């Protein structure tokens, strides 16, 4: 009898180890597979698209993964995970939202006083956008909807519209809110992969991957990813690496579980790639928000993420939103400011500038964030200017002598900082005026079932 019991237990244990355990929900009946290139094909003969992972329909996810892992022609296989938007409930109990140490008015003055910079394209990979919103419409360019497989990324949850508003809502127009990049030459590319699923904002891993490739292939300079999940994905890392290889900065929210990401997985923010900036959420009191993930190695910077205002669906506005979802677009917007001022700056230089110019105050508690501080728009622009001057000074001397007027330095960056967005209107001509706005709220989870083409 004992031998029989041991045999049954052994069989059950063996079965339990024959199927992989997954920390994140996934779409049943689908797997993402990366096949190896045939040995007979030279690497150069394989197109970028042919080398990407694909979504395959299967009868049983777990058994298919086990079987495919045994095949010699398979590089890797994984579930088609469900991804979540990283907002929190809109009744988070914080008062006053004053972000003086982000120094946005100083940054806006700097840009107004500088020569017009290059155009910057930010891809917001999210739930789409309210395409007709009066505060966003003029900033939008053509995107795509992978959640519904069409060319109209209309937002049906509001999450993407709020993220877009933090980045690029029209400023100085006496209505609504103002986005960070209201006074630079910029455009927002909405790429939708999440949608409303029984009141939750959800999307699939396969749709997120396709969205990243689309954004890179259609000219994005910066990608904002205000979403995440808690399992490692090789195919998503491949997509983020593709963005890096093409010079695209990738801004990712750190997540809202209040966990240490050094010890627990959260992706895409945890990918150790040189183009990734992982963003935690801070409150107006200078603390890390209690819901925000952190990590001394894996989370790079903090940005406003509690009790913010932004654009909303149906041409409306929302006055109290919170989450790392809304901290990430702060960083994306400031990255766009920096990039706009220097045509030749690389994604790595933008990343280094943003992380190295944070505001550090003795009262702040950012001991578990790599940079030890919160983002500072004005100081980032000053650092970019210094980098630009250093690059000019180190350039080879011109072959012809130029006049003193030809070599005169271009304009400076305009007045100091003090103050950050809080209001939604701005006095024309007074750069330290409100231009308030921004960011945070509505929590969404995300299970959803859809197939990616």
Q: One of 298, 322, 325, 433 is an active-site residue; which one?
A: 325
**C-alpha span between 12 and 173 (Å, rounded):** 67
Q: One of 101, 126, 135, 155 is an active-site residue; which one?
A: 126
CA dihedral 243, 246, 248, 252 (to 10 degrees): 20
Instruction: Note the Cα 241 to chain centre separation in Å.
Output: 14
Please give the structure tokens belonging to residue 114.
Answer: 């500088």
Residue 126 among the catalytic residues: yes
Angle of helix 159-168 relative to helix 324-340, nearest 10 degrees? 30
Instruction: Note the Cα 331 to chain centre separation in Å.
Output: 8
Does the CA dihedral 84-90-95-96 come out positive or negative? Answer: positive
* DSSP SS3 for 385: helix
Residue 325 among the catalytic residues: yes
Q: One of 159, 206, 233, 284 is an active-site residue; which one?
A: 159
DSSP 5-50: HHHHHHHHHHHHHHS---SS-EEEEEEEEEEPPPTTS-GGGS-TTT
DSSP 82-96: EEEE--B-TT-----
CA dihedral 423, 425, 426, 428 (to 10 degrees): 180
Phi (first) and psi of residue 359, to 5 degrees: -85, 125
In contact, 79 and 66? CB cutoff 8 Å: no
Catalytic residues, by residue number, are 126, 159, 325
């Amino acid at each position: 009898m004992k031998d029989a019991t041991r045999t049954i237990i052994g069989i059950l244990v063996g079965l339990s180890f024959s199927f992989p355990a997954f920390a994140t929900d996934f779409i049943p009946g689908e797997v993402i597979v990366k096949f190896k290139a045939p040995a007979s094909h030279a690497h150069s003969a394989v197109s970028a698209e042919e080398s990407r992972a694909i979504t395959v329909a299967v009868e049983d996810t777990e058994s298919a993964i086990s079987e495919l892992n045994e095949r010699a022609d398979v590089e890797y296989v994984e579930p088609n995970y469900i991804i979540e938007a990283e907002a929190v409930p809109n009744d988070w109990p914080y008062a006053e939202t004053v972000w003086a140490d982000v120094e946005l008015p100083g940054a806006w003055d700097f840009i107004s006083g500088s020569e017009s910079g290059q155009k910057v394209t930010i891809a917001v990979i999210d739930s789409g956008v309210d395409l007709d919103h009066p505060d966003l419409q003029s900033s939008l360019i053509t995107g795509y909807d992978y959640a519904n497989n069409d060319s109209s990324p209309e937002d049906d949850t509001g999450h993407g519209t709020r993220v877009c508003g933090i980045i690029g809502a029209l400023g100085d127009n006496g209505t609504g809110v103002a986005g960070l990049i209201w006074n630079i030459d910029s455009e927002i590319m909405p790429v939708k992969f999440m949608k409303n699923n029984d009141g939750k904002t959800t999307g699939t891993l396969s749709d997120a991957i396709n969205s990243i490739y689309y954004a890179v292939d259609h000219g994005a300079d910066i990608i904002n990813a205000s979403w995440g999940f808690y399992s490692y994905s090789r195919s998503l890392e491949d997509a983020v690496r593709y963005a890096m290889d093409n010079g695209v900065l990738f801004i990712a929210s750190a997540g809202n579980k209040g966990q240490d990401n050094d010890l627990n997985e959260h992706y895409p923010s945890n990918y150790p790639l040189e183009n990734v900036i992982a963003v935690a959420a801070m409150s107006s009191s200078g603390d890390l928000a209690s819901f925000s993930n952190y990590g001394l190695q894996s989370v790079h910077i903090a940005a406003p993420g509690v009790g913010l205002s932004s654009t909303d669906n149906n041409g409306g506005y929302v006055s109290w939103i919170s989450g790392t979802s809304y901290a990430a677009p702060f960083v994306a917007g400031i990255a766009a400011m920096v990039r706009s001022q220097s045509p030749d700056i690389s994604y790595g230089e933008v990343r280094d500038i943003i992380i190295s110019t944070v505001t550090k105050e003795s009262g702040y508690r950012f001991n578990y964030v790599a940079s030890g501080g919160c983002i500072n728009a004005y100081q980032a622009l000053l650092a970019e200017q210094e980098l630009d001057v250093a690059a000019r000074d180190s350039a080879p001397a011109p072959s012809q002598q130029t006049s003193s007027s030809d070599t005169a330095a271009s304009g400076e960056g305009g007045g100091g900082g003090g103050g950050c967005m809080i209001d939604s209107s701005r006095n024309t001509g007074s750069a330290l005026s409100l231009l308030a706005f921004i960011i945070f709220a509505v929590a969404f989870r995300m299970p959803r079932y859809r197939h990616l083409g």
